[in-house]
Structure 1
């Protein structure tokens, strides 16, 4: 077996099912090895960044390793943004990159880039193969590192080594890693149980790490009478309709979640690495954190007890140690705050007039979507409307570019979701700004006849950026977007499409779009003047916004 064949065999044994990428001279040998086997699929995309985004989305949704490939020089460089998305959200992705021939390394040859230096900040493991004898060891280590450390592993192969024979390469491979649950120490569980017993106003915050054991988390919350808040990335972990759920937290969260966090005297962080320090509670409440990665314990917020292990065993251990609490005053206060928030939210969501309110659009998408839908959200104002107003109910799934928050993720992420979950409808929620960054891979969706519905929240501008400018006191500047005919673009790609700008036709258009078995783009012209307000408005933000509006007013007169 040659280097490329061994690489493909190791990837397939590790659980990789497809590689997203663009052909190129330095990786043609790898693509030929893929062509000559039937365990691994190559998915041609129109831009390597889209391929990396698709791999990242697949890995986030499945928990299994996914892969992408780029040729030497620009092909490898184009992977970077999608790989940083995988790094930021702890997704196991293996990146294969081509490289100039070994004789040309260090000579400033055509398309030569120092890829070891380029990928240093994004990878948990990276290696350039310069001898056939390094295989399959390098490939095995890369696969294991990506899975064990939940991150990006890179293998770079110079073009002159791809077809060289590997001595004994067929004798060693790598099976997929089965990671067992790690249980926190009994002494630490006892300390955590005492903290809970001593508290009066506990709050639990969950993220993706609690997905597999959310029933246990709910049981603990019911026993101690505590509200549950979640991060945006946990949109599909616990539905907002649950009586204990206060909804999302952070800039795009709810007033109820802010209330639960600001007034708690104990914060239990369950499987979350929530990065926004300004949205943690002031006043120093006691804190317990459950995480299987020791590096994450206490790095965002000071903790009193760190439970090193997976969330499920830790929560079940606490359930055995914590007595039932009859006191529900704090929980009831949070539920009143939630009821007030839902009343306000309902007024925005049920606005039945034109121009179409994005809050209403988000609500109706969630209500009309198939119960098996996978939602993929882009970054921008659309994230705010979806986070607050679109209901997601398990077994529905949800993903986005979380910690990196990169625009352009929506369509490629939907491709990764659809290919890794055949038979399930995928709904991509995108803004006109995000979609126009990487629109060409609609051709990829058409080529594979993927059941992807693109809902475009078209407000004609970079709405979230405008809000960020204005709360800082700057007048709106360069956020308006030139109009683009998304529907005709979709038709030219071979997809179906429709535009709607009248509230009267919205439900009919959504029903048509959401039942298609192939790519369908629905361009919805939403009210461009809707404001994406944070759940808690600071005086400085209000002052900055007012100042910006004054500047915008006087700018009309050239002043």
Structure 2
């Protein structure tokens, strides 16, 4: 009868291990060599005392008198499978043996009850992260972060945290960046020292330049070998200095909890990257420090502009006959207040590409995206306006806000005000507060032109133009306009789009018409190819963490060039059952670069791609994969993919010239 004082852990079934074989199994965290010989079963410590060789990868050998021995595969040390004792000639240490019990063909190994683990620095810091609002971590567990990973594992086990094991740390960085852009709260990135940490850097730059909060948690070599050039020892403080607002090594218990709190505070308040370096040996140092909480450490964000600025803005707005509002991604939280002001003024609302969807395109005041990825509607009203009200916009050259026009600019970051050129009225304050005041004070000019009716006319012209473009057919693939026309109609009103970089991005900006509360995530200022699919992982994780996002459909979009950057993250989506639909516009080339080469009178060179059948790849990964080659297939296949449970990929064979 099994000893009831022990914890009996299942390690497999009898059919898993044939007679005369050994195998490595794990009970809790204990590595065990499971032995099956002469109808008998035994279990011993898997580590050979010589050099920790894995006995479970060895063999059973018979010696004199048919004595059986478990032989280590590394250097041939032998052990009695029933007693764990070595024969003469070796150190008489012997292997620890574990009781074994067979129950209805299932194999159980008995372990002493697990003692309560001592609280470590990592435990105290991870508890602090959770208290400050960390809900999800993306990363890869490895040899120089195991102590920190164990603290995360315990919080995952207690349902206080979620963890997503990715295939490449670069994807973890993009996922966390997208999560921060969508929620305003940081997700974590867990990596090992050396290459694991450096793989984060592109995604960290994406987060930094687009003002997304991220918590980077990098392992490091042991402090005793830090500096001279040990294996995977690089200067992580220098590597992350430019990309992070806060970067510190964790070197002892006295300040570890405070470092965790400051990292979270910097990420949340500054909407930036915070980085902590965890030397391997420090991660498991015992700690009795209580975890930190954010109470009393973060203020409200309702910054009211000065009275004189509000007076000046009121005068300018009420004097304008053709005012327009241009909104950037920084104004997204104030969307309802912006729309109320636009309705009061009868003003068109133009968005930067990053802010696409802030006002749905089916709203009477919507003018679409301004700039290179935008619509002729937005360009028209930019040209005709007599006052620009710019809210949370960064004035990038991609958007092309006309600096010669009278401009009121409102931003909560004073450095953004008049950053690239003077504006008529720079106003420091929170966009929502400004809009509330202006909506109350605004009195449209008596001779104000009817821009809302004009907007409807301009939309009709543009939609007719899009319909005309659908008839273009070179016989070499689908028109991307047809894909985005179907997506405009079929995507849920609250869908979250994660968009990659390339021709697919320009087509998305021009042709997709947003509706409802749809959101768009992109690699804005960095413009990094490969963002789309990893960003969808981050967006989906956010839908699991925040009640306001629960149930929202995540749709990612890329070309074949972008998808090829992180294709194996499709298996991450399969592993965690992520309800993501990926639209892949496959044209066999880096189409945007080909166009730039032609426009610059360069020869088209090295932009062609050799690709697998991506739809088949998706199916091999365990998801849904469909291929579309004809226009009349688009709606049906897209509808089925959007309704699929779990990850789905639709491969649209497109013409690189029809964008």
Query: What TM-score results when the alignment is normalised by the length of structure 1?
Result: 0.90
Pairing of 1:46-125 with structure 2 (within 5 A): 46-125=167-246
Does 1 or 2 have the higher relative contact order (CA < 8 Å, sep 6+)? 1
Unaligned runs of 5+ in 1: 533-559
Pairing of 1:70-219 with structure 2 (within 5 A): 70-166=191-287, 168-170=288-290, 172-174=292-294, 177=298, 179-219=300-340
Deviation, structure 1 residue 349: 4.4
Task: Give the 3-state SS of the residue equivalent to 1:512 in structure 2.
Answer: helix
- The answer (yes or no) to whether the contact 2:571–2:622 under 8 Å persists in 1 is yes
Q: Distance in 2 between matches of 1:395 and 1:31?
A: 37
- The answer (yes or no) to whether the contact 2:126–2:152 under 8 Å persists in 1 is yes
Task: Give the 3-state SS of the residue equivalent to 1:464 in structure 2.
Answer: helix
Task: Give the 3-state SS of the residue equivalent to 2:241 in structure 1.
Answer: coil
- The answer (yes or no) to whether the contact 2:339–2:359 under 8 Å persists in 1 is no
Structure 1 residue aligned with 2:122: 4
- 22-31 vs 261-270, which moves further: 261-270
Change in Cα spacing, 1:425 to 1:197, as seen in structure 2 (3 Å) is: closer
Q: Which runs of 4+ in 1 moved over 4 A?
A: 175-178, 332-338, 349-354
- The answer (yes or no) to whether the contact 2:388–2:406 under 8 Å persists in 1 is yes
- The answer (yes or no) to whether the contact 2:216–2:273 under 8 Å persists in 1 is yes
Change in Cα spacing, 1:179 to 1:481, as seen in structure 2 (3 Å) is: farther
Structure 2 residue aligned with 1:535: none
- The answer (yes or no) to whether the contact 1:280–1:301 under 8 Å persists in 2 is no
Structure 2 residue aligned with 1:415: 537
Q: Which has the higher helix share?
A: 1
**Cα deviations by residue, 1:299-323 (Å, 9 ceiling, x for unpaired):** 1342222221111110111123221
**Cα deviations by residue, 1:491-532 (Å, 9 ceiling, x for unpaired):** 2211121111012222211111110011111111012222x4
1:30 equivalent to 2:148? Answer yes
Change in Cα spacing, 1:194 to 1:77, as seen in structure 2 (3 Å) is: same
Deviation, structure 1 residue 179: 3.9
- The answer (yes or no) to whether the contact 2:321–2:449 under 8 Å persists in 1 is no
Change in Cα spacing, 1:352 to 1:472, as seen in structure 2 (3 Å) is: closer
RMSD: 2.0
Task: Give the 3-state SS of the residue equivalent to 2:290 in structure 1.
Answer: helix
- 54-63 vs 435-444, which moves further: 54-63
Q: Distance in 2 between matches of 1:218 and 1:387?
A: 21
Structure 1 residue aligned with 2:484: 362
Deviation, structure 1 residue 233: 1.3
Q: Distance in 2 between matches of 1:187 and 1:115?
A: 47
Change in Cα spacing, 1:415 to 1:177, as seen in structure 2 (3 Å) is: farther
1:221 equivalent to 2:342? Answer yes
Q: Which has the higher strand share?
A: 2
- The answer (yes or no) to whether the contact 1:255–1:338 under 8 Å persists in 2 is no
Change in Cα spacing, 1:64 to 1:177, as seen in structure 2 (3 Å) is: farther
Q: Distance in 1 between matches of 2:349 and 2:539?
A: 28
Structure 1 residue aligned with 2:412: 292
Q: Distance in 1 between matches of 2:261 and 2:507?
A: 42
Question: Residue 317 of structure 1: which of 437, 447, 450 is its match?
Answer: 437
Deviation, structure 1 residue 350: 6.7
Structure 2 residue aligned with 1:307: 427
Task: Give the 3-state SS of the residue equivalent to 2:555 in structure 1.
Answer: strand
- The answer (yes or no) to whether the contact 1:349–1:363 under 8 Å persists in 2 is no
Structure 2 residue aligned with 1:465: 593
Structure 1 residue aligned with 2:78: none
Change in Cα spacing, 1:452 to 1:260, as seen in structure 2 (3 Å) is: same
| Count of residue correspondences | 529
- The answer (yes or no) to whether the contact 1:259–1:334 under 8 Å persists in 2 is no
Unaligned runs of 5+ in 2: 1-118, 545-550
1:239 equivalent to 2:360? Answer yes
Question: Residue 488 of structure 1: which of 616, 623, 626 is its match?
Answer: 616
Change in Cα spacing, 1:370 to 1:323, as seen in structure 2 (3 Å) is: closer
Q: Distance in 2 between matches of 1:389 and 1:31?
A: 44
Question: Residue 439 of structure 1: which of 560, 567, 591 is its match?
Answer: 567
Change in Cα spacing, 1:467 to 1:328, as seen in structure 2 (3 Å) is: farther
Q: Distance in 1 between matches of 2:322 and 2:293?
A: 52
Change in Cα spacing, 1:438 to 1:299, as seen in structure 2 (3 Å) is: same
- The answer (yes or no) to whether the contact 2:533–2:566 under 8 Å persists in 1 is yes
Structure 2 residue aligned with 1:385: 507
1:343 equivalent to 2:464? Answer yes
Q: Distance in 2 between matches of 1:264 and 1:114?
A: 52
Deviation, structure 1 residue 106: 1.8
Q: Distance in 1 between matches of 2:518 and 2:470?
A: 21
Deviation, structure 1 residue 449: 0.9
Q: Distance in 2 between matches of 1:76 and 1:480?
A: 31
Deviation, structure 1 residue 336: 4.5
Larger radius of gyration: 2
- The answer (yes or no) to whether the contact 2:320–2:445 under 8 Å persists in 1 is no
- The answer (yes or no) to whether the contact 1:182–1:292 under 8 Å persists in 2 is yes
Question: Residue 15 of structure 1: which of 110, 129, 133 is its match?
Answer: 133
Task: Give the 3-state SS of the residue equivalent to 2:408 in structure 1.
Answer: strand
- 45-54 vs 32-41, which moves further: 32-41
- The answer (yes or no) to whether the contact 1:379–1:401 under 8 Å persists in 2 is yes
**Cα deviations by residue, 1:233-289 (Å, 9 ceiling, x for unpaired):** 11121112222222101111112212222332321111222321771215x222111
Task: Give the 3-state SS of the residue equivalent to 1:36 in structure 2.
Answer: helix
- The answer (yes or no) to whether the contact 1:3–1:132 under 8 Å persists in 2 is yes
- 440-449 vs 400-409, which moves further: 400-409
Change in Cα spacing, 1:43 to 1:179, as seen in structure 2 (3 Å) is: farther
**Cα deviations by residue, 1:322-355 (Å, 9 ceiling, x for unpaired):** 2133434373656544443332123224769963
Deviation, structure 1 residue 211: 2.5
Q: Distance in 1 between matches of 2:584 and 2:490?
A: 16
